[in-house]
Chain A
Amino acid sequence: MTPLINALACLLALLPASFLWTSPRSIARYGISQALILLCFMLFTFFTGDMEDPMMEFYPLKMWAFCLCVSTLTLTKKRTFFMTLAQGLWFWIVFFGSLSLAYRGEPVNNLSMILLFFGMIGVQFFKQNPKEISLGILIYWVGIWMLF
């Protein structure tokens, strides 16, 4: 995956994040919209990514988790809680995805996991979320996305 496509993926993942939770829907409809977003990410990965690269196996899931993370910034209730959960999902995907790749002898990037882990702890300290901090957190996530 070239840095350019990676950046495109980042933009694509940011797109749905802003309106994921805006209109109230039934659980089933939420599920469907999540599924369709994930499907878009999969199609994107399939057509732009190098499918021989094992990292691609969980790339769309990473996009999804990233998208969920960013979408928590739009929440008004229980934001810290869901921020932690969404980062937890991202961490989970990367950690266990890398672990199963490690079994095949692929190199593992520990740094992104450590950063995500600290992100999970970090957001606990920003219970009151002024705008600037939200922006800071967003940049932190985009940074993790772009660099790793």
Chain B
Amino acid sequence: MVKKLFIVGLILLIPGIWTLFQALSIGPASWALDQSLFWGTPIVNFVFWIGLAHAGTFLSAILLILEVRFQKRISLVAELSTIAAILVASIFPLIHLGIVSRFYFLIPFFNERNIFANFSSPLIWDFVAIFVYLCISIFYIVTHLLSLKHASLLKTRKVLAWILFPLVLWVHTIVSLDFAVTTNNLWQGAYFPIYFILGALFSGLALVVFLLEVQKRRVRKIEELLIAASWLLFVFWIWEFFQKGVWHFEVVFFGFVIVQLLWIPVLRKQKAFRLFVSFSVLISMWLERYVLIIPLDIEWLPVDYGWFALGIGLFLSVFFGLYLLIQKHNPLVFYVSAEESNEKYSRKVLWGILAGAVVFALLYFALNYPLDTSVPLMNWIPVLFPLFSLFAGLSFFALGVYSVVPKKQFFLVSGLLVLILGGAFGAFYAGGDTNLGVESKIISVERVSKNNRPVKDLWASRCASCHGLKGEGNRKFIYEFYPEIQDLTLERLNSQGEDSLTQVVLKGRAFMNPFEGRVSEPEARALIRYMYQLAEEKE
């Protein structure tokens, strides 16, 4: 069965890779999109897969902390599914970047490149959180595999579980904040963080039910958890109805009604039925994200269908590929668990590393904050916590591995890793050429940051995205997200005067962002004169 699913995965990857290729070469036009939608199906799939990734950690790390006994029987499968699902999920935001090769602009390095990481943007938080989440999940599963031989590593595992616990909730909370920053009120709700976490958990549980059945195993407690989660989610759907008056029967049917059939013992005994329920939940949770993100009828393009092939294909091939690999080394690994061990870290080590991690995160903040004091403190916290986790997780992991593998091997491997990672870090830090070679609209950062840039270029790079190249207003961009931009007629400009308009550019007004610090006063004035010129041309 495992081999078959691995092969199914590989086969699905063929249309999957075609989809990826289409999406990257054509861009957003290749999937169903409407002016009001903005994101479309890639983000639906992103939220879906990142949700699936969480169950793995939940079922392994959180249950480990809670000392729930059945955790041992499912932990490795759950951890493996996390890694495969994060990999799938991370594809979608990259597609959205448009220029994938420039993804490293998301890394919140310091301000050397004059492109300051926007700490108010959940895109940065997303990146940091998901990256750290992937790293710690890998440490966690490697520790798990090593601990089967070296029981002393169990203490490392426990510490990592403690780090993962808040981190996993963190990641999905931040996914929910991606929606909060928009001005579309369907995407807002202060209850979203908890709602999203529950949804993630629910779909993840369903996935684990499926993966266990593949191994011909069954853990009743998980079915119980599935029922419990379905009720909680049902209540949240009611709350959403109270808040926004939306009610999606299909989501409730697949995600709640069907799950209640598990109460009937005859049905629940059937393997086929349990699989049916798990798929039903997965469908419901996919639909839930779909109706939230795409609240209208829209015609699908081939790429929209292709995401399924890409997601499922990649997941199956990574999951079962790794599964086969691990099993080859240790055929019983999925059925055994490490012995008990009551070893604990000495207080000195524990607090030492935690303090180090706090210092690391605070140092990062202290070095960055003076560069951009305009970002409120609250918007830093989402980044600081993952940085703290990364430092602490890496330290504990390295310490644990160091204690069990031969010293020579340890230094060799870690030396190599430092070299490779350091090299990559340096390369990203240096960044590539930011000039894309498209003359008219996109201006290289070097040129923009010099003071005497031509005003037309400045307009094109800074203002045209909203106001249009000719000042006609970019309807596509402002629709839904900003109120209609005023028609900038000569009359209207005259009525406000150059001075006050310059102030609007620098200080912002309503939905017009403040540009102070990004354009100088004379530049703002020049831009206003340019706007006059555009308005005159129009008349």
Contact = CB atoms under 8 A, between A and B. Distances in A.
A136 B302 CA distance: 62
Interface in A16-42: 26-28, 30-32, 34-36, 38-39, 42
Contacts of B239: 42, 60
Interface centre among B177, B188, B189, B235 (most CB of A within 10 A): B235
Contacts of A142: none
Interface residues of A, number: 33
A92 interface: yes
Given A38-B232, A38-B235, A61-B191, A99 B378 contact: yes
B232 A35 contact: yes
Given A38-B235, A42-B239, A103-B181, A58 B169 contact: no
Interface in A89-104: 92-93, 96-104
Contacts of B378: 99, 102, 108
Interface residues of B, number: 31
Interface stretch (B86-94, B223-231, B392-400, B493-501): B223-231
Interface in B197-240: 221, 224-225, 227-229, 231-232, 234-235, 238-239
Contact of A100 (B180, B224, B228, B229): B180
Contacts of B376: 102
A57 B189 contact: yes
A92 to B, nearest CB: 7
Contacts of A55: 190
Contacts of A60: 191, 239
B420 interface: no
Contacts of B192: 100
B231 A103 contact: no
A49 B86 CA distance: 40
Contacts of A108: 378
Contact of A97 (B190, B231, B232, B235): B190
A140 interface: no
B503 interface: no
* Secondary structure class of chain B's binding surface, majority of residues: helix
A12 to B, nearest CB: 16
B243 interface: yes
A32 B231 contact: yes
B191 A34 contact: no
A139 B188 CA distance: 33
Interface string A56-69: 01101100000000
Nearest to B180: A100
B173 interface: yes
Contact of A31 (B181, B188, B227): B227
A54 interface: yes
Interface in B242-261: 242-243
Nearest to B195: A61
A88 B190 CA distance: 17
Contact of B177 (A58, A88, A100): A100
Contact of B235 (A39, A100, A101): A39
Interface string A71-110: 0000000000000000010001100111111111000100
Interface of B: 166, 169, 173, 176-177, 180-181, 183, 188-194, 221, 224-225, 227-229, 231-232, 234-235, 238-239, 242-243, 376, 378
28 contacts: A27-B228, A30-B228, A32-B228, A35-B232, A38-B235, A39-B238, A42-B242, A46-B242, A57-B189, A57-B243, A58-B191, A58-B194, A92-B173, A93-B193, A93-B194, A96-B173, A96-B176, A96-B177, A98-B190, A99-B177, A99-B378, A100-B176, A100-B190, A100-B193, A102-B376, A103-B180, A104-B183, A108-B378
Given A96-B177, A104-B183, 4 more contacts: A42-B235, A92-B169, A97-B193, A103-B180
